[in-house]
Structure 1
Amino acid sequence: MTADHLSACESMVGQGRAVLGIAGQPGAGKSTIAQRLVADLAAAHGAGFAAYVPMDGFHLGDRALMALGLLDRKGAPETFDDEGYAAALARLRTASGPVYVPSFDRVLEQPIAADLIVPAAARLIITEGNYLLHWPAVRAQLNQVWFVRLDPDVRRSRLIARHVEFGKSPAEAEEWVRRVDEPNADLVVASAHLADRFVDGVTGAFVT
Protein backbone atom coordinates (compact mmCIF):
# COMPACT_ATOMS: atom_id res chain seq x y z
CA MET A 1 0.00 0.00 0.00
CA THR A 2 1.07 3.62 -0.41
CA ALA A 3 2.15 6.27 2.09
CA ASP A 4 -1.36 7.75 1.74
CA HIS A 5 -2.91 4.52 3.02
CA LEU A 6 -0.53 4.27 5.95
CA SER A 7 -1.04 7.91 6.85
CA ALA A 8 -4.83 7.48 6.74
CA CYS A 9 -4.56 4.48 9.06
CA GLU A 10 -2.16 6.18 11.46
CA SER A 11 -4.40 9.25 11.70
CA MET A 12 -7.21 7.10 13.12
CA VAL A 13 -5.13 5.92 16.04
CA GLY A 14 -5.49 8.21 19.04
CA GLN A 15 -5.38 7.48 22.73
CA GLY A 16 -7.34 4.27 22.33
CA ARG A 17 -7.76 1.64 19.66
CA ALA A 18 -9.33 2.38 16.31
CA VAL A 19 -11.21 0.03 14.00
CA LEU A 20 -11.03 0.36 10.22
CA GLY A 21 -13.55 -1.47 8.05
CA ILE A 22 -12.85 -2.58 4.49
CA ALA A 23 -16.19 -3.16 2.75
CA GLY A 24 -17.16 -4.14 -0.77
CA GLN A 25 -19.00 -6.62 -2.94
CA PRO A 26 -18.09 -10.31 -3.02
CA GLY A 27 -14.86 -10.81 -4.94
CA ALA A 28 -13.80 -7.16 -4.87
CA GLY A 29 -10.48 -7.84 -3.11
CA LYS A 30 -11.30 -6.80 0.46
CA SER A 31 -9.28 -9.45 2.26
CA THR A 32 -6.20 -8.87 0.09
CA ILE A 33 -6.24 -5.14 0.81
CA ALA A 34 -6.91 -5.63 4.54
CA GLN A 35 -4.10 -8.15 4.98
CA ARG A 36 -1.69 -6.02 2.96
CA LEU A 37 -2.46 -3.05 5.21
CA VAL A 38 -1.77 -5.14 8.31
CA ALA A 39 1.56 -6.29 6.86
CA ASP A 40 2.62 -2.80 5.79
CA LEU A 41 1.71 -1.31 9.16
CA ALA A 42 3.72 -4.07 10.86
CA ALA A 43 6.71 -3.18 8.67
CA ALA A 44 6.34 0.49 9.60
CA HIS A 45 5.50 0.17 13.29
CA GLY A 46 6.34 -3.34 14.38
CA ALA A 47 4.47 -6.63 14.54
CA GLY A 48 1.18 -6.37 16.36
CA PHE A 49 0.52 -2.70 15.62
CA ALA A 50 -2.49 -3.74 13.49
CA ALA A 51 -4.60 -6.88 13.67
CA TYR A 52 -6.86 -8.56 11.12
CA VAL A 53 -10.42 -9.59 12.03
CA PRO A 54 -12.48 -11.00 9.12
CA MET A 55 -16.27 -10.71 9.09
CA ASP A 56 -16.39 -14.19 7.54
CA GLY A 57 -15.39 -15.68 10.89
CA PHE A 58 -18.92 -14.84 12.01
CA HIS A 59 -20.55 -17.04 9.38
CA LEU A 60 -23.04 -19.45 10.89
CA GLY A 61 -21.79 -23.03 10.65
CA ASP A 62 -23.42 -25.43 8.22
CA ARG A 63 -25.28 -27.27 10.99
CA ALA A 64 -26.94 -24.03 12.10
CA LEU A 65 -27.65 -23.05 8.49
CA MET A 66 -29.30 -26.43 7.83
CA ALA A 67 -31.44 -26.05 10.95
CA LEU A 68 -32.52 -22.59 9.77
CA GLY A 69 -33.12 -23.71 6.17
CA LEU A 70 -30.46 -21.27 4.94
CA LEU A 71 -27.67 -23.50 3.64
CA ASP A 72 -28.48 -22.69 0.03
CA ARG A 73 -28.15 -18.94 0.80
CA LYS A 74 -24.78 -19.14 2.55
CA GLY A 75 -23.14 -15.72 2.33
CA ALA A 76 -26.37 -13.70 2.54
CA PRO A 77 -26.69 -11.29 5.51
CA GLU A 78 -29.00 -13.60 7.43
CA THR A 79 -26.38 -16.38 7.39
CA PHE A 80 -24.05 -14.45 9.73
CA ASP A 81 -24.06 -13.78 13.45
CA ASP A 82 -24.08 -10.02 12.90
CA GLU A 83 -24.90 -9.24 16.54
CA GLY A 84 -21.98 -11.39 17.68
CA TYR A 85 -19.72 -9.62 15.20
CA ALA A 86 -20.78 -6.18 16.45
CA ALA A 87 -20.27 -7.32 20.06
CA ALA A 88 -16.79 -8.63 19.25
CA LEU A 89 -15.84 -5.32 17.62
CA ALA A 90 -17.12 -3.43 20.66
CA ARG A 91 -15.03 -5.65 22.93
CA LEU A 92 -11.97 -5.17 20.74
CA ARG A 93 -12.24 -1.38 21.04
CA THR A 94 -11.70 -1.46 24.80
CA ALA A 95 -9.97 -4.77 25.64
CA SER A 96 -6.76 -4.46 27.68
CA GLY A 97 -5.61 -8.01 27.01
CA PRO A 98 -5.49 -10.41 24.07
CA VAL A 99 -8.78 -11.21 22.34
CA TYR A 100 -9.40 -14.42 20.41
CA VAL A 101 -11.58 -14.09 17.33
CA PRO A 102 -12.81 -16.57 14.68
CA SER A 103 -11.41 -17.07 11.20
CA PHE A 104 -13.00 -18.69 8.15
CA ASP A 105 -11.46 -21.70 6.40
CA ARG A 106 -12.25 -21.61 2.68
CA VAL A 107 -11.30 -25.27 2.20
CA LEU A 108 -13.71 -26.43 4.90
CA GLU A 109 -16.11 -23.54 4.15
CA GLN A 110 -16.57 -23.21 7.91
CA PRO A 111 -15.81 -20.64 10.64
CA ILE A 112 -13.03 -21.65 13.04
CA ALA A 113 -13.63 -20.40 16.60
CA ALA A 114 -10.89 -18.49 18.47
CA ASP A 115 -8.43 -19.03 15.61
CA LEU A 116 -6.91 -15.53 15.48
CA ILE A 117 -5.28 -13.54 18.28
CA VAL A 118 -5.64 -9.78 18.56
CA PRO A 119 -2.73 -8.83 20.82
CA ALA A 120 -3.09 -6.40 23.68
CA ALA A 121 -0.65 -4.01 22.00
CA ALA A 122 -2.67 -3.70 18.77
CA ARG A 123 -3.56 -0.07 18.06
CA LEU A 124 -5.60 -0.59 14.90
CA ILE A 125 -8.08 -3.36 14.14
CA ILE A 126 -8.67 -3.92 10.42
CA THR A 127 -11.84 -5.82 9.66
CA GLU A 128 -13.27 -6.61 6.25
CA GLY A 129 -16.50 -7.99 4.84
CA ASN A 130 -19.47 -7.45 2.61
CA TYR A 131 -21.96 -6.02 5.06
CA LEU A 132 -20.07 -3.52 7.22
CA LEU A 133 -22.24 -0.67 5.96
CA HIS A 134 -25.42 -2.76 5.84
CA TRP A 135 -25.54 -3.55 9.57
CA PRO A 136 -25.92 -0.34 11.65
CA ALA A 137 -24.64 -1.99 14.85
CA VAL A 138 -21.44 -2.99 13.07
CA ARG A 139 -20.99 0.40 11.37
CA ALA A 140 -21.27 2.06 14.77
CA GLN A 141 -18.09 0.29 15.91
CA LEU A 142 -15.98 1.43 12.97
CA ASN A 143 -13.97 4.66 12.91
CA GLN A 144 -13.89 4.61 9.12
CA VAL A 145 -15.07 2.36 6.31
CA TRP A 146 -13.26 2.13 2.97
CA PHE A 147 -15.29 0.64 0.12
CA VAL A 148 -13.46 -1.40 -2.53
CA ARG A 149 -14.64 -0.89 -6.10
CA LEU A 150 -13.94 -3.31 -8.96
CA ASP A 151 -15.16 -3.75 -12.54
CA PRO A 152 -18.21 -6.09 -12.35
CA ASP A 153 -16.91 -8.51 -15.00
CA VAL A 154 -13.55 -8.83 -13.28
CA ARG A 155 -15.24 -9.32 -9.91
CA ARG A 156 -17.54 -12.08 -11.22
CA SER A 157 -14.61 -13.83 -12.90
CA ARG A 158 -12.73 -13.77 -9.60
CA LEU A 159 -15.73 -15.23 -7.78
CA ILE A 160 -16.21 -18.06 -10.26
CA ALA A 161 -12.50 -18.91 -10.12
CA ARG A 162 -12.57 -18.91 -6.31
CA HIS A 163 -15.58 -21.23 -6.15
CA VAL A 164 -13.91 -23.61 -8.61
CA GLU A 165 -10.68 -23.52 -6.60
CA PHE A 166 -12.54 -24.64 -3.50
CA GLY A 167 -14.48 -27.50 -5.02
CA LYS A 168 -17.37 -26.39 -7.24
CA SER A 169 -17.52 -27.33 -10.91
CA PRO A 170 -17.41 -24.39 -13.34
CA ALA A 171 -21.16 -24.77 -13.97
CA GLU A 172 -21.91 -24.94 -10.24
CA ALA A 173 -19.71 -21.89 -9.62
CA GLU A 174 -21.45 -19.83 -12.30
CA GLU A 175 -24.87 -20.83 -10.94
CA TRP A 176 -23.88 -19.93 -7.36
CA VAL A 177 -22.58 -16.54 -8.46
CA ARG A 178 -25.77 -15.84 -10.40
CA ARG A 179 -28.18 -17.06 -7.72
CA VAL A 180 -26.42 -16.09 -4.46
CA ASP A 181 -23.39 -13.84 -4.88
CA GLU A 182 -24.86 -11.30 -7.30
CA PRO A 183 -28.03 -10.57 -5.26
CA ASN A 184 -25.72 -10.10 -2.25
CA ALA A 185 -23.50 -7.81 -4.33
CA ASP A 186 -26.50 -5.64 -5.22
CA LEU A 187 -27.37 -5.36 -1.53
CA VAL A 188 -23.81 -4.38 -0.63
CA VAL A 189 -23.48 -1.66 -3.26
CA ALA A 190 -26.77 -0.10 -2.13
CA SER A 191 -25.02 1.14 1.03
CA ALA A 192 -21.71 2.11 -0.62
CA HIS A 193 -22.58 5.80 -0.39
CA LEU A 194 -22.13 5.55 3.38
CA ALA A 195 -18.40 4.81 3.03
CA ASP A 196 -15.75 7.33 4.07
CA ARG A 197 -13.35 6.53 1.23
CA PHE A 198 -13.21 4.40 -1.92
CA VAL A 199 -10.40 2.11 -3.01
CA ASP A 200 -9.66 0.64 -6.44
CA GLY A 201 -9.80 -3.16 -6.23
CA VAL A 202 -6.96 -3.62 -8.73
CA THR A 203 -4.42 -0.96 -7.78
CA GLY A 204 -5.46 -0.39 -4.17
CA ALA A 205 -5.34 3.37 -4.77
CA PHE A 206 -7.84 5.76 -3.22
CA VAL A 207 -10.41 6.90 -5.80
CA THR A 208 -13.23 9.45 -5.81
Structure 2
Amino acid sequence: MSPDLDTLAEQLICAAEGASRYLVALAGPPGAGKSYRSVLLCDAINQRLPGQAGLVPMDGYHFDNAVLGEQKLPLKGAPHTFDVEGLRCDLERIRQANQPVAVPVFDRPLDLARAGGRVIGLEQRIVIVEGNYLLLDRSPWRELRPLFDWTLFLEVDNVVLVDRLIRRWLEMGQDRAGALERTHHKDMLNAQLVKRCCLPPDQRWR
Protein backbone atom coordinates (compact mmCIF):
# COMPACT_ATOMS: atom_id res chain seq x y z
CA MET A 1 0.00 0.00 0.00
CA SER A 2 1.37 3.41 -0.99
CA PRO A 3 1.66 5.88 1.90
CA ASP A 4 0.22 9.38 1.84
CA LEU A 5 2.49 12.39 2.27
CA ASP A 6 1.92 12.89 5.99
CA THR A 7 2.41 9.20 6.78
CA LEU A 8 5.64 9.12 4.77
CA ALA A 9 6.98 12.27 6.45
CA GLU A 10 6.28 10.79 9.89
CA GLN A 11 7.84 7.50 8.84
CA LEU A 12 11.07 9.16 7.72
CA ILE A 13 11.26 11.33 10.83
CA CYS A 14 10.98 8.24 13.03
CA ALA A 15 13.55 6.33 10.96
CA ALA A 16 16.01 9.25 11.14
CA GLU A 17 15.67 9.77 14.88
CA GLY A 18 19.09 10.13 16.48
CA ALA A 19 20.96 10.21 13.14
CA SER A 20 23.28 13.12 12.42
CA ARG A 21 22.49 12.61 8.73
CA TYR A 22 19.84 10.47 7.02
CA LEU A 23 19.80 10.20 3.22
CA VAL A 24 16.64 9.36 1.30
CA ALA A 25 16.63 8.52 -2.43
CA LEU A 26 13.49 9.45 -4.34
CA ALA A 27 13.77 7.82 -7.76
CA GLY A 28 11.43 7.38 -10.69
CA PRO A 29 11.08 7.85 -14.45
CA PRO A 30 11.02 11.22 -16.25
CA GLY A 31 7.69 12.95 -15.69
CA ALA A 32 6.89 11.00 -12.52
CA GLY A 33 6.79 14.17 -10.42
CA LYS A 34 10.03 13.67 -8.49
CA SER A 35 10.84 17.37 -8.18
CA TYR A 36 7.31 18.23 -7.07
CA ARG A 37 6.97 15.33 -4.64
CA SER A 38 10.42 15.86 -3.14
CA VAL A 39 9.59 19.49 -2.37
CA LEU A 40 6.29 18.43 -0.78
CA LEU A 41 8.03 15.78 1.31
CA CYS A 42 10.80 18.15 2.35
CA ASP A 43 8.25 20.79 3.36
CA ALA A 44 6.17 18.23 5.27
CA ILE A 45 9.24 17.21 7.29
CA ASN A 46 10.24 20.83 7.90
CA GLN A 47 6.76 21.63 9.17
CA ARG A 48 7.37 19.07 11.91
CA LEU A 49 11.13 19.62 12.33
CA PRO A 50 11.82 23.19 11.14
CA GLY A 51 14.98 23.48 9.05
CA GLN A 52 15.99 19.84 9.40
CA ALA A 53 15.22 18.61 5.85
CA GLY A 54 17.16 19.49 2.72
CA LEU A 55 16.95 18.59 -0.96
CA VAL A 56 19.58 17.54 -3.52
CA PRO A 57 18.44 17.26 -7.17
CA MET A 58 20.30 14.74 -9.31
CA ASP A 59 19.70 16.93 -12.38
CA GLY A 60 22.32 19.35 -11.10
CA TYR A 61 24.90 16.78 -12.17
CA HIS A 62 24.05 16.95 -15.88
CA PHE A 63 27.18 17.31 -17.97
CA ASP A 64 27.20 20.69 -19.68
CA ASN A 65 26.24 20.84 -23.36
CA ALA A 66 29.79 21.87 -24.24
CA VAL A 67 31.15 18.76 -22.51
CA LEU A 68 28.66 16.45 -24.20
CA GLY A 69 29.31 17.87 -27.65
CA GLU A 70 27.06 17.79 -30.67
CA GLN A 71 27.16 13.99 -31.01
CA LYS A 72 25.88 13.26 -27.49
CA LEU A 73 23.74 16.36 -26.98
CA PRO A 74 20.54 14.77 -28.38
CA LEU A 75 20.95 12.04 -25.73
CA LYS A 76 21.15 14.50 -22.82
CA GLY A 77 19.22 13.02 -19.92
CA ALA A 78 20.38 9.44 -20.55
CA PRO A 79 22.37 7.76 -17.74
CA HIS A 80 25.79 8.40 -19.29
CA THR A 81 25.20 12.16 -19.58
CA PHE A 82 25.52 12.73 -15.81
CA ASP A 83 28.55 13.23 -13.59
CA VAL A 84 27.82 10.22 -11.38
CA GLU A 85 31.22 10.36 -9.71
CA GLY A 86 30.66 14.00 -8.75
CA LEU A 87 27.27 13.09 -7.28
CA ARG A 88 28.76 10.18 -5.34
CA CYS A 89 31.52 12.34 -3.89
CA ASP A 90 29.04 15.01 -2.79
CA LEU A 91 26.76 12.43 -1.20
CA GLU A 92 29.70 10.99 0.71
CA ARG A 93 30.57 14.48 1.96
CA ILE A 94 26.95 15.06 2.96
CA ARG A 95 26.89 11.75 4.85
CA GLN A 96 29.92 12.78 6.90
CA ALA A 97 27.86 15.65 8.36
CA ASN A 98 30.93 17.62 9.40
CA GLN A 99 30.63 20.70 7.17
CA PRO A 100 28.15 22.43 4.84
CA VAL A 101 28.21 21.02 1.29
CA ALA A 102 27.42 23.08 -1.81
CA VAL A 103 25.62 21.18 -4.57
CA PRO A 104 24.69 22.16 -8.15
CA VAL A 105 21.12 22.69 -9.32
CA PHE A 106 19.75 22.41 -12.84
CA ASP A 107 18.14 25.40 -14.52
CA ARG A 108 15.70 23.75 -16.92
CA PRO A 109 14.75 26.86 -18.94
CA LEU A 110 18.45 27.63 -19.51
CA ASP A 111 19.32 23.93 -19.94
CA LEU A 112 22.39 24.14 -17.72
CA ALA A 113 23.56 23.35 -14.20
CA ARG A 114 24.46 26.12 -11.78
CA ALA A 115 27.41 25.22 -9.56
CA GLY A 116 26.92 25.84 -5.85
CA GLY A 117 23.23 26.57 -6.42
CA ARG A 118 22.27 25.12 -3.03
CA VAL A 119 24.00 24.43 0.28
CA ILE A 120 23.17 21.50 2.55
CA GLY A 121 23.85 22.75 6.06
CA LEU A 122 24.63 20.75 9.16
CA GLU A 123 21.16 21.44 10.56
CA GLN A 124 19.58 19.59 7.63
CA ARG A 125 19.74 16.06 9.05
CA ILE A 126 17.28 14.50 6.61
CA VAL A 127 18.42 14.94 3.02
CA ILE A 128 16.17 13.93 0.14
CA VAL A 129 18.01 13.18 -3.10
CA GLU A 130 15.75 13.04 -6.15
CA GLY A 131 16.48 11.81 -9.65
CA ASN A 132 15.76 9.31 -12.42
CA TYR A 133 18.67 6.94 -11.98
CA LEU A 134 19.35 6.82 -8.24
CA LEU A 135 18.23 3.17 -8.14
CA LEU A 136 19.39 2.15 -11.61
CA ASP A 137 20.89 -1.34 -11.45
CA ARG A 138 23.83 -0.49 -13.67
CA SER A 139 27.34 0.60 -12.82
CA PRO A 140 28.28 3.27 -11.79
CA TRP A 141 24.75 4.13 -10.61
CA ARG A 142 24.28 1.01 -8.48
CA GLU A 143 27.32 2.04 -6.41
CA LEU A 144 25.22 4.89 -5.02
CA ARG A 145 22.83 2.53 -3.26
CA PRO A 146 24.90 2.04 -0.05
CA LEU A 147 24.87 5.81 0.50
CA PHE A 148 21.10 5.88 1.03
CA ASP A 149 19.41 4.99 4.30
CA TRP A 150 15.96 4.77 2.71
CA THR A 151 14.84 4.48 -0.91
CA LEU A 152 11.56 5.44 -2.56
CA PHE A 153 10.37 4.80 -6.09
CA LEU A 154 7.59 6.82 -7.71
CA GLU A 155 5.28 4.59 -9.71
CA VAL A 156 3.36 6.34 -12.50
CA ASP A 157 1.54 4.76 -15.46
CA ASN A 158 3.08 5.31 -18.89
CA VAL A 159 0.02 7.10 -20.27
CA VAL A 160 0.31 9.67 -17.49
CA LEU A 161 4.04 10.07 -18.09
CA VAL A 162 3.52 10.69 -21.80
CA ASP A 163 0.87 13.35 -21.16
CA ARG A 164 3.04 15.14 -18.60
CA LEU A 165 6.16 15.03 -20.75
CA ILE A 166 4.41 16.38 -23.86
CA ARG A 167 3.01 19.25 -21.79
CA ARG A 168 6.46 19.92 -20.31
CA TRP A 169 8.08 20.24 -23.74
CA LEU A 170 5.26 22.41 -25.06
CA GLU A 171 5.62 24.73 -22.06
CA MET A 172 9.36 24.97 -22.80
CA GLY A 173 8.65 26.27 -26.30
CA GLN A 174 8.71 23.13 -28.43
CA ASP A 175 6.15 22.80 -31.19
CA ARG A 176 3.81 19.79 -31.14
CA ALA A 177 6.02 17.68 -33.40
CA GLY A 178 9.13 18.46 -31.36
CA ALA A 179 7.33 17.69 -28.09
CA LEU A 180 6.17 14.33 -29.42
CA GLU A 181 9.62 13.48 -30.77
CA ARG A 182 11.39 14.28 -27.48
CA THR A 183 8.77 12.50 -25.41
CA HIS A 184 8.60 9.23 -27.33
CA HIS A 185 12.16 8.96 -28.68
CA LYS A 186 14.04 10.33 -25.67
CA ASP A 187 12.21 10.64 -22.36
CA MET A 188 10.07 7.51 -22.61
CA LEU A 189 13.10 5.41 -23.62
CA ASN A 190 14.77 6.58 -20.40
CA ALA A 191 11.54 5.97 -18.49
CA GLN A 192 11.36 2.35 -19.64
CA LEU A 193 15.00 1.83 -18.65
CA VAL A 194 14.32 3.21 -15.16
CA LYS A 195 11.25 1.02 -14.72
CA ARG A 196 12.91 -2.11 -16.09
CA CYS A 197 16.31 -1.86 -14.38
CA CYS A 198 15.46 -0.50 -10.94
CA LEU A 199 16.98 -1.91 -7.75
CA PRO A 200 14.25 -2.92 -5.27
CA PRO A 201 13.23 0.19 -3.30
CA ASP A 202 12.36 0.18 0.37
CA GLN A 203 8.99 1.72 -0.52
CA ARG A 204 6.95 2.42 -3.61
CA TRP A 205 4.98 5.67 -3.75
CA ARG A 206 2.06 6.32 -6.05
* TM-score of the superposed pair, with normalisation by structure 2: 0.92
Q: Give the match for residue 110 of structure 1.
A: 112
Equivalent residue in structure 2 for 1:16, among 16, 20, 36: 20
Aligned match of 2:126:
124
Q: Which residue of 2 aligns with 1:89?
A: 91
Cα distance in 1 for partners of 2:205, 2:28 equals: 9
Q: Alpha-carbon deviation of 1:169?
A: 1.4
Measured after TM superposition, the shift of residue 100 of structure 1 is 0.8
Cα distance in 1, alignment partners of residues 197 and 129 from structure 2: 17
1:161 to 167, 184, 194: 167
1:50 has 2:56 as partner: no
Aligned-pair CA distance for 1:193: 5.1
Equivalent residue of 1:70, what SS? helix
Q: How many residues are matched?
A: 198
Paired position in structure 2 for 1:4: 7
Equivalent positions of 1:143-158 (< 5 A) are 143-158=149-164
In structure 1, which of residues 67, 77, 80 is the aligned counterpart of residue 82 of structure 2?
Answer: 80
Q: Which amino acid aligns with 2:76?
A: K
Amino acid at match of 1:104: F
State the TM-score, normalized to the length of structure 1: 0.91
Change in 2 beyond 3 A, CA 1:86/1:174: same
Q: Secondary structure at the match of 1:127?
A: strand
Query: After the TM superposition, which of the residue ranges 4-13 and 96-105 deviates more from structure 2?
Result: 4-13
Distance in 2 (CA, whole Å) between partners of 1:83 and 1:33 is 25
Are residue 192 (structure 1) and residue 194 (structure 2) matched? no
SS at match of 1:194: coil
Structure-2 separation of matches of 1:79 and 1:118: 24
Letter in 2 for 1:34: S
**Which residue identity lines up with residue 186 of structure 2 in the other structure?**
V
Q: CA deviation at 1:96?
A: 1.8
Aligned AA (2:173): G
Identity %: 35
Offset of residue 108 of structure 1: 0.3
Any unmatched runs of 5+ in structure 1? 201-208
Unaligned runs of 5+ in 2: none
Q: Which amino acid aligns with 2:88?
A: A
Q: Residue 170 of structure 2 contacts residue 176 of structure 2 at CA under 8 Å; is this kept in 1?
A: yes
